Amino acid sequence: DGGITQSPKYLFRKEGQNVTLSCEQNLNHDAMYWYRQDPGQGLRLIYYSQIVNDFQKGDIAEGYSVSREKKESFPLTVTSAQKNPTAFYLCASSRGDSYNEQFFGPGTRLTVL
């Protein structure tokens, strides 16, 4: 059963801590993406990767880091440099061209205590 998974579903972080959000896909997709969603602001692109061992910054990359060591995995680290990290984070994957849709994971809700 192919799909894209994210873990954990809920994550709580103390100020000053780094946290890592997991994203895994078994769809054999080349491209993977991380988005941040805040109420009333739609989706904002954090980072994307079109191929293993390569990734590019999106519109709001400051305070975040990623890696793409395997095709199936694209973890996102929210660092202490991200001043307002409380948000809903969505991971997506696609075949990596303009006419194929993205498949989204169920999301991780991060709350800073």
Partner 1 sequence: AQSVTQLDSHVSVSEGTPVLLRCNYSSSYSPSLFWYVQHPNKGLQLLLKYTSAATLVKGINGFEAEFKKSETSFHLTKPSAHMSDAAEYFCVVSASGGSYIPTFGRGTSLIVHP
* In the complex, minimum distance from the CB of residue 42 to partner 1, in angstroms, rounded to a whole number: 4
Q: Which stretch binds partner 1 (CB under 8 A): 12-20, 21-29, 71-79, 105-113?
A: 105-113
Give the x-and-dash track for 24-53 against partner 1 (CB under 8 A): ----------------xxxx-x--x-----
The per-residue DSSP string of the chain comes to ---EEEE-SEEEE-TT--EEEEEEE-S--SEEEEEEE-TTS-EEEEEEEEETTEEEE-TT-TTEEE--SBTTB--EEE-TT-S---EEEEEEEE-SSTTS--EE---EEEEE-
- At its nearest, how many Å lie between partner 1 and the CB of residue 83? 22
**One of 14, 54, 97, 113 touching partner 1 (CB under 8 A):** 97
